[in-house]
Every structure is written in structure tokens, then in C-alpha cells.
Amino acid sequence: MKSSKTHKQRSRSQKQAPKPDAPGILNLSLDNAATGLIAILSVLVSLTILLGEQAGVRVRVNLPENGLVAPYQTITFTFSEPYNPGFASELVSMNPIHEGYLEWVDTYTMRFVPIRPFELGVTYTLKFEKGEVETRGREVKKAQTWEFKTREPLVAYMLADETSSSIWAVDLNGNPPKRLTDESVKVISFDAARIGEFIIFTVANEQGGVDLWRVSRAGGDAFLLLDCGRDRCTTPAISPDGLRIAYSREFAGPSPELPFGSPRIWILDLQSRQNNAVYEDQEILGYNPSWAPNSNKLASYDGLSDQIFMLDLREKTQSIFSSNTGGPVTWSPDSSKMLFTDVDQAEEGVRTQVKLADLSINKSETLIGAKDDRDYSYYALAWSPFGDNVVLSFHGGDDPLVQTLWLFDPSTLEGIIIADQKDYSYNSPQWDPWGTALIFQQFKLRSTFNPEIGLWQPGFNEPLLLTQGLMPHWLP
């Protein structure tokens, strides 16, 4: 019967079933090939386990290839196997010794968080000794060392003209500045992370709203971080640990011609991408958010009630201090105190004052200006990262436009004038991570508007012109 099939029938029946591929590999059956492969894989699995177990636990550290780290660089240890924090922490050392603490992140990750910034010019040696890292006896079989130094800080600032507004960065060594955002993006305001890795800035969108953008320290890679649509998201403030952004959000009106709503403070979590209003109570307004150095407290100003709201995000407690200036606050290094300005309507007239709020007792007192013979119009404040002094800009002389910078000890109120050149006005001071250098905005009065960035360090007789630009921020 088979032989009676036509050639056409035979060729059709050959096509019918999903024929295995024409020429098979070798001359194996499926069972032989599959079981052979499974056997080979079993051997490879066994060998991998055998060799892997002999190699022991491996540790990797997130240090950059060039060995240059940020002053507040968190050093992350990643283990190839689950570790015991108690065991592992015994094996870590640093030379020279540096103040900080080891933190358990997850089953495989531990990190060293520096309390003080790593010093410039010092070579640090990090060592992980060999030894057991977990309770079952699994161990790191070979000691490892890594070396790193602290990188030179940059200063980020804005350059604006009629058509563009960009963020630039410059070092303190006189090298040419570098543009971080391109011309197509028109920056309104920005904040630089204390960890120095990125900048968050605001840009107007086509719908009339303002969005949050992000760009890295190296620049050229700006991207939209938060599309706010028709809402205005402004005054971003990055938490010192670099994990959250606080900003002020004004909701758009029901139609474009209607005004925006009142500003409220929101927080965007950069890891989870959660984005929520800080206060559920819509009556609490807020702008100019300011993070405490420990990243757990957030102050903001409510211009409707003339109050500064301070929220402890960890303890879920809230403190309120009256202030009617709306100026930003500055924090003590231990996050327990705040300095801010207020205006008092005294019998002799208006007096601007500097107030000190102690968050442990929820009280504030006037630190400066209680007995001033006239109004000195205190403006921006900057508390040194190590607490030994504060810089204050104030209107000291007869010229109403002139603002001077005064460096003082908050415990004795004794200090020195550090910037009062004739025809110059100074504002927005910011300390570097070590508290050894100060940058600020300076303007030459009665001339073309040409904002400059000044630099002051102990030993300087007068400030140094760093570059021309606006809104200086350290980019450590």
C-alpha cells in the first residue's frame, strides 16, 4: 500500500506534521540528548557549588574607580551572601579613623555613614578583615583594602540672560566653568544635594505649570523628574541624605485663566517615587522648605498664618513658631535648634530680629535685635556645619541697599564683619561641608545688574570674586 502512494501524496504527508528539523544534531534520541544535557548541567551545578563554597563570602564596596568620593559619601558594603551585622561590623576598619556609624540596610548590604565630612587631601584606607560574617560560619577568606580621597567641591550656580537660563559648575582652582544643563532647558531655581551627586531644578512647562527636573554632577543628562502638569512645583529642597525632595506645590485653577491655589509643601521620595502633601490639613500652607541636617525634620513657612511649621518626620511631631518675614531657616548641626528672622512692631518702630528656636522644649527666644537702636533688617542666615559660628547678612550702614555679612559666635554673639566692600551688597551665604569656606551672592550697587558669586575663607581680608552668576550652592 505504501508503495502505491503518488509522489505528490508523499511529499504532502511529509509536510503535515511539525517535522523535526531536517538534519538532526549528531545521531541522538531526544531522551539521550535531554538526559545528557541535564546530567552535564547537574555536574556544572555541583562544581559551581563546590568552587563557590571554597571561595567564601565576597565583599564589594561602592567606591568610584578614580577613588574620589564626596565629603559625605556613604560607603556601601555588598556581601555575596546574607551577613550578620554584629559579625561583619567587627571586621571593618578605617585608617585614619573617621567618625560615623555602620548601618544595616538589608540582608546583603551594610553601609558606613560618616557623621563628619571626609577631610580634603587625606588618603583613607578602608579594610575588611578576613573572618566569619554570619552565624553559620560562612567567612570572608581574604582580607580586602580600598583607598579613597575626598574630591574637591564645586560651586553650582545659575547664569541667565533674556533667552536662556542654565546651571553651571565651577571649582575653586580657577578652571573654566562647566555648563550642566543645555540651552533648551530654562531653569527657574535649583537645589544641589549635600551628597554632591545631583541637582534638582525647576522648569516651566508648556501647560503653564512648573516641573521638577534632575541633572547629575557631571551634567548633560538632565531629565524630567516630576511632571507637575498645570501645577507649579517650586523651591525644591533636597534632604541631606539625598533621598527625598521637599517642594512647594500650587495647584492650577479649574481653568487656565483662574489663579493658582495657595502653596503647600509636598515630598517626593526618590526611591519609592511616592509623592505626597506633607500636611493633610489643607489650611496649612507652605513654601521655602528647609531640611534639618539629620534629614528627619522639615521646616516650612506658612505666609497666611505667619508661622514656621516644623515637622519631625520620624517622631511624627510638629512645632510651630511665629515669624512674619518668610525668610528661610538655618539649622544647628545637631538638628535640635533653628535660627530664623522675625519682625517685631515695637514702640520705637519696626525691628527685625533673629530668633533661636529650641526644638527640644518647643520655645523660641530673640537672639539678636531685641534691644537694637534701629532696624538692622536681618536677612539670610547660615549656621556652620560644626556649630561654632553663624553668618548673617544685614543692613548695617546708612545706605538702604547695602547688606553686610557678619560672622559671629551664637553663644557669645561676638563676631567680625567678613564682607562689607563699598558699593557692594551680600546675601545668601552658604558654608562648605567642612565649615571652612563660605560662598554668597554679591552685587555691585549702582551699576549694571551683574550678579557675582563671592568666596570667603578664614584669613581673607576681603571676599574673593569666584565667578559671575546667581543662586550659588555648594556641590561637594
Partner 1 sequence: METATSSKHLPRNLILATAIGILLIVSISMTPAGFFTWLGGRLNVFSTVFLGIFVEAVPYLLLGTLASGLVEVFLDRDQMGRWISKRPVAAAVSGAFMGMVFPVCECGVVPLVRRLFHKGLPLSAGISFLLAAPVLNPIVILSTAAAFGWGQMLFLRVGLSLAIAVVTGIIFSVEKEAGNVLRPALTLSIEHDHAQTESNDSFVEKIRKALLITADEFFEMGRYLIMGILLAATLQTFIPQSVLLTIGSGPVLSVLIMLGLAILLSICSTVDAFVALGFVGTFSFGSVLSFLVFGPMVDIKSVLMYLQVFKRRPVFYIVAIPFMMSLLSGLLFNYLLP
Contacting positions for partner 1 (CB under 8 A): 12, 15-26, 28-34, 37-38, 41-42, 44-45, 48-49, 51-52, 55, 58-60, 78-82, 105-109, 138
Q: How far is the CB of 296 from partner 1 (least distance, A)?
A: 22
User: Considering beta carbons, is residue 272 or 411 the nearer one to partner 1?
Assistant: 272
The whole-angstrom separation of Cα 88 and Cα 75 is 14
Closest separation in Å from C-beta 110 to partner 1: 12
**Which of 137/176 has CB closer to partner 1?**
137
Least separation, in Å, of the C-beta of 19 and partner 1? 6
Q: How far apart are CA 35 and CA 48, in angstroms?
A: 20
Minimum Å gap between C-beta 109 and partner 1 is: 7
Q: How far is CA 265 from CA 224, 230, 342, in A?
A: 20, 17, 21
Give whichever of 44 and 465 is closer to partner 1, judged by the CB atom. Answer: 44
The secondary structure element, H or E, covering residue 35 is helix 30-55
- Dihedral Cα 25, 30, 33, 36, nearest 10 deg: 180
- For partner 1, the closer of residues 197 and 344 by Cβ is 197
Q: Please, which residue, 58 or 116, has the CB nearer to partner 1?
A: 58
Query: Shortest distance, CB of residue 14 to partner 1, whole angstroms?
Result: 10
Is residue 299 within 8 Å of 332, Cβ to Cβ? no
Nearest alpha-carbon partner for 291 in 365, 185, 200, 202: 200
Q: CB-wise, 32 or 282, nearer to partner 1?
A: 32
Angle value at C-alpha 416, between 413 and 419, nearest 5 degrees? 130
CB 58 within 8 A of CB 100: no
Closest distance of CB 34 from partner 1, Å = 4
Cβ-based nearer residue to partner 1, 109 or 207? 109
Beta bridge partners of 465: 454
The span from the CA of 439 to the CA of 453, in Å, is 7
Q: How far is the CB of 177 from partner 1 (least distance, A)?
A: 31
- Does residue 16 sit in helix, strand or coil? helix
| Shortest Å, Cβ 407 to partner 1 | 45
Nearer to partner 1, 79 or 383 (CB): 79
Q: Which three cell numbers stand for residue 159?
A: 547664569
Least distance to partner 1 from the beta carbon of 226, Å? 17
The answer to whether 63 touches 146, Cβ cutoff 8 Å, is yes
User: What is the residue-wise DSSP string for 113-153?
Assistant: EESSPPPTTPPEEEEE-SEE-STT--EE-S-EEEEEEEPPP
Please say which residue, 43 or 401, places its beta carbon nearer to partner 1.
43
Alpha carbon of 6 to those of 2, 9, 10, 18, 147: distances in Å?
9, 5, 6, 21, 81
